[in-house]
Amino acid sequence: MKFYSTNDQNHLVSLKEAVIKGLAPDQGLYMPENIPRLPGSFFENISQLSFREIGYEVTRALFAEDLPEQQIKELVDHTLEFDAPLVQVEDHVYTLELFHGPTLAFKDFGARFCSKLMSLLLGKQQVKVLVATSGDTGSAVANGFYGVEGVEVVILYPSGKVSELQEKQFTTLGGNVAALEVEGCFDDCQKMVKQAFLDPELNQQMILTSANSINIARWIPQSFYYFYAYSRLQKKREKVAFAVPSGNFGNLAAGILAERMGLPIDKFIAATNVNKVVPDYLAGGAFEAKPSIQTISNSMDVGNPSNFYRLLALFGGDESGLKAKVKGFFYSDEQTRSAMKAVKATSGYTLDPHGAVAYLGLTDFMAQHPDAYEGVFLETAHPGKFQAVVEETLGTKISLPDRLAAFLKGKKKVDQLPNDYGAFKKYLLT
Ligand SMILES: *Cc1c(COP(=O)(O)O)cnc(C)c1O
């Protein structure tokens, strides 16, 4: 399979190049040259298949020319080491819990797939992954890449500007994950990383990569759990809708990839907080990036969603096709909190603020189409990750899951780094 840039259909690269580069040189996003349709027999038997078996099938359809069967198995087994259970919340309303991985958020799927794929594609070559983080990216990448052979991770983060729990999630691992505490802000960290990628001397001596969120290897595995959720749904109604709490729109675009591969999803709900660039577009406006606004569902505070062009590409640039398949909904923090309270009161289920936005989008959509849909909304993070907001909203204590609490007991291992590119370069060279 070759991959093209969303900015230039004729710029084709190999899987290896797409994964190591991350972003195309023209700043476009990589996309598979063609989207294979899975055979009818796969969908007939899907309820009998395990999560991993579904993952093999999807990966094989895309990468069979690039990876031997044994490596496809290794890759998927490493990615799907935890489940994504479908839990009924109300009649015809289900949540897909994507928070059972090491950092309790759905980004674990992409980080694990990406790290393993890099290691398989590079063979004996070593690669250094450089990440600047203000919190969450660092923990997902660190945990996804932890212990993966041939890959070294270097995380730069601003001293004193990351929450204790987040810091512990990427500074206590050790092994192939190094953390650099920078005397500076997040932008300083990012500047040093960007400078390293452009440094000819460094690039001659080592393979550097970013593993950033738009990497095709972080994007593709997010399609697995749409197939899986569909396979476990007891369909009592004819049509299925999926609601996705969205920020950069990678997750939603992965759902549409699944649909394009043949999964019969009738509608997608693009649910956002007040950062509503995409809902505005879907309602007939132009696509217009805006400065981001801070909300309680802060992983979705994105004013310029980078996967928008992937959404369009999945419809061959046909905007009416995209608008027919995806419906936009957006909500204020107040509405989000009300939904968290109402769901807790009626069904006992604890939503995190991101899942609550998706729940709202799904139930509002279903109310517009009575009796037509089975609905699934994605729970992208464990409520314990947003403990303060959840406790304040619900007025009850919630406990941190063991996996998260364990990080707090870990010992922080970091190197201090002045805000100076020369020092960073020296660190990388030694
Ligand atoms: C990253 C993230 C999102 C947004 O996902 P996109 O793929 O960027 O749209 C939603 N919820 C949580 C908890 C996240 O961490």
d(Cα 386, Cα 391) in Å, to the nearest integer? 9
R_g of the chain computed on alpha carbons? 21
d(Cα 384, Cα 399) in Å, to the nearest integer? 7
pLDDT tens digit sequence for 110-155: 999 999 999 999 998 999 999 998 777 888 899 999 999 899 999 9
**Mean pLDDT, the chain, whole residue set:** 94
List all residues 6 or more positions away from 231 whose beta carbon is below 8 Å from its beta carbon.
Answer: 46, 47, 49, 54
Indicate the pLDDT class of residue 236, thresholds 50, 70 and 90: confident
Cα-based distances in Å from 159 to 50, 140, 284, 418 = 43, 19, 43, 10
pTM of the predicted model as reported, rounded to 2 decimal places: 0.94
Strand partners, 240: 374
Picking from 104, 181, 182, the residue whose alpha carbon sits closest to that of residue 144 is 104
Mutational pocket test of ligand 1: of 246, 304, 330, 386, the residue with most ligand atoms within 8 Å of the beta carbon: 246
- β pairing state of 86-90 and 177-182: unpaired
pLDDT tens digit sequence for 312-335: 999 999 999 999 999 999 999 999
pLDDT for the residue 407:
85
Mutational pocket test of ligand 1: of 95, 106, 278, 330, the residue with most ligand atoms within 8 Å of the beta carbon: 106
Asked about 413 being catalytic, the answer comes back as: no
pLDDT tens digit sequence for 17-58: 999 988 898 989 999 999 999 999 999 999 999 999 999 999
Q: How far is the CA of 420 from the centre of ligand 1 (A)?
A: 32
Is the distance from CB of 31 to CB of 311 less than 8 angstroms?
no
Quote the distance between the C-alpha of residue 358 and its chain's center.
Answer: 15
Ligand 1 within 6 A of CB of 245: yes
> Domain 82-103+218-394 maps to which CATH number in 3.40.1160.10, 3.40.190.10, 3.40.50.1100, 3.90.550.10?
3.40.50.1100
Helix (H, G, I), strand (E, B) or coil at 274: coil
Nearest CA to ligand 1 atom 8: 248
Give the mean model confidence (pLDDT) for residues 217-228: 97
d(Cα 32, Cα 389) in Å, to the nearest integer? 39
Ligand 1 within 6 A of CB of 249: yes
Give the mean model confidence (pLDDT) for residues 66-87: 97
Domain ranges for the chain, please list them: 82-103+218-394
pLDDT for the residue 139:
87
pLDDT tens digit sequence for 300-311: 999 999 899 999
d(Cα 143, Cα 138) in Å, to the nearest integer? 8
Ligand 1 within 6 A of CB of 354: yes
Strand partners, 30: 5
Q: Which residue in 107, 168, 327, 385 is the catalytic one?
A: 107
Ligand 1 within 6 A of CB of 35: no
pLDDT for the residue 181:
96
Ligand 1 within 6 A of CB of 247: yes
* Tokens (6 digits) for 52: 């991993």
State in Å, rounded, how far the first CA of the chain is from the last one: 37
Ligand 1 within 6 A of CB of 272: no
pLDDT tens digit sequence for 166-195: 899 999 999 999 999 999 988 899 899 989
